[in-house]
Amino acid sequence: MHNNLKWVALVALATSLGACTSMNLFKDSAAPAAPPAEATAPTAPAVNGAISAAQIKSLLTGKSWRWRGLKSGVTLYASDGTSLVEITGSGTTQGKWVAQDGELCESFAPAPFLPQGVPLKCNPFKPGPTPGTYLVGPATFTLAS
């Protein structure tokens, strides 16, 4: 029951992200305000064989992804380039994200457990070891249900 209430709160908070996008949540001015528009179709692979930016954007947008790496948690990726991140055992923060061919770039706002926030950093984005999983830097992503 506690997990259900947690998800209801997470979804409610995620729906309010749109109002937060006009605020300067990050000290790092290099973080993009919103992801650039993609010119290619979501199914078009990148020229170098990597997952295209459009494919990454299509995979992530509007969905919650569970990730496990150095830490673990769940991230909800909004279509406007914002995200809501819950880090297991630590709390939540807001982020910004943008897809590039073969990469996911993310930055995170300061939070009590993350006083300085995290400036924009790009990590390789590639298929994981099992169907429906993706490797993003040191983390493995699976669709949260």
Q: Which two tokens stand for residue 43?
A: 């199914």
- What's the CATH code of the domain at 114? 2.40.128
Q: CA 103, CA 53: separation in Å to the nearest integer? A: 7
pTM of the entire structure? 0.70
Q: CA 50, CA 103: separation in Å to the nearest integer? A: 9
Query: pLDDT of 90-140, one tens digit each?
Result: 999 999 999 999 999 999 999 999 999 999 999 999 999 999 999 999 999
**Which residue segment(s) compose the domain that 92 sits in?**
2-143
Q: CA 54, CA 75: separation in Å to the nearest integer? A: 19
- What's the total number of domains in the chain? 1
Q: Which two tokens stand for residue 99?
A: 């897809």
Q: What DSSP state is assigned to residue 52?
A: P
